[in-house]
Structure formats: C-alpha cells, structure tokens
Amino acid sequence: MDESASLNLLRECMLAVAPLELKGMGLLRAQPHLLTGTPSIPRDQLVEAVTEIVAYTARCAEAVRQLATLTPIPLTTVEIEGYGL
C-alpha cells in the first residue's frame, strides 16, 4: 500500500469514529446549574458520570503517552494544502 492510500485509509478511519458522549457532559448540558453546587440529580447518577469522566481522562493520557513514543514516518509524496510538498 502506498503512502497516499495509507493516508486516505487513516483519514477514513478517523472520520468513521463516532463522537464520544460522556454522561457527565450530558448532565452539564441538561442542568448547567450543577456547576453552582446545587445538584438536583441522584447521587449514584452523578458518581457514575464523574467516574466515567475520570476513566476517560486516564485513557486519553495513556493514548498521549503511546503516541509520544511512535517513530515518525516521513511523508515525502503527500501534499498538504497550504504547506506545499
């Protein structure tokens, strides 16, 4: 597979990933007053949402650590608009 095909495959893969909907973010959108300290939702629902956000943050940090150790691959035949070849 050539570089262009690999780049297109990667792009298609990234575009196919659905946005992640975290429960905590949904709660904040539905009840923005939660930030002021007057929660009106059940404690177990709030605990579940916070736990999910903490776990997501940990997964993101791990992904960053893994990406930081990847070996760069030079793209010599790919033109990026605005940057030339």
Burial class (CB in 10 A: 0-12, 13-18, 19+), 76: exposed
pLDDT for the residue numbered 56: 92
pLDDT for the residue numbered 83: 65
pLDDT digit of tens for each residue in the chain (85 aa)?
566 777 788 788 878 888 888 888 787 777 766 666 655 677 788 788 889 989 999 999 999 999 889 888 777 777 777 765 5
- The CA distance from 35 to 16, in Å, is 33
Domain segments of the chain as ranges: 21-85
Would you say the C-alpha torsion 74, 76, 79, 82 has a positive or negative sign?
positive
What pTM was computed for the model? 0.51
pLDDT for the residue numbered 44: 85
* Residue found under tokens 């579940």: 48
